[in-house]
Structure 1
Amino acid sequence: MQTAPSPVVALNRAVAVAMAFGPAAGLELVDGLLAEPSLAHYHLLPAVRGDLLLKLGRNDAARAEFERAALLAGNARERALLLAHAAATR
């Protein structure tokens, strides 16, 4: 973040924080990025959020995030993967 700060780098940092300190810590950082205009159509924001919610046992919320990410995905393979993650939360 110090060398090349950007919303995408902040999202990557949130993933690293989640890996080091747990999904709740990462989710707090991700939630802080929800209002970032440059990430509004970035499929990895809801994908990461879905993953963290799933790890916290919040399956319904995770499914909604994976489905939102699938709608934003730029190609069929990513869309299929995200929809498979959504289906796995049931």
Structure 2
Amino acid sequence: MLLRHAWPSPVVELNRAVAVGFAEGPERGLAVADAVAAAPALAAYPQVPAVRADLLARLGRATEAREAYEKAAALSGNAREREVYSAKAAALAD
């Protein structure tokens, strides 16, 4: 909580979504991530759909998780990161 108050930013909130997802469950973490996803500053930030994808997968929502990983791969400018996100999407294929 201290970081969130000392340096408030959408990225800090996204990190909080991950922490909430582990501490309070993926549904609560997803609610935080969805609120962060609305921040214009993160519109092209691939970690937003990647975090959402992980939380969705943990909730058993494989189709939505796959789509989110595909979006993360499309947004990423890093080849290795794209490979990881694409592999995670493929692992969730129907």
What TM-score does the superposition give when structure 2 sets the normalisation length? 0.94
Tell me whether 1:13 sits opposite 2:16 in the alignment: yes
Is 1:32 the counterpart of 2:29? The answer is no
Moved segments of 4+, more than 6 Å: none
Whole-angstrom CA distance in 2 between matches of 1:57 and 1:13: 21
Over the matched positions of the two proteins, sequence identity in percent amounts to 54
Higher helix share: 2
1:51 matched to 2:54? The reply is yes
Give, in whole Å, the separation in 1 of the partners of 2:28 and 2:80. Answer: 30
Is 1:83 aligned to 2:83, yes or no? no
Match of 1:23 in 2: 26
In the comparison of the two structures, how many residue pairs are matched?
90
Pick from 26, 31, 44 the counterpart of residue 41 of structure 1: 44
Q: Deviations over 1:13-42 (max 9, x none)?
A: 110011101100100001111211000000
Q: How far did residue 65 of structure 1 move? A: 0.2
Q: Structure 2: 5+ residue runs without aligned partners?
A: none
Structure 2 distance, partners of 1:34, 1:13, is: 13
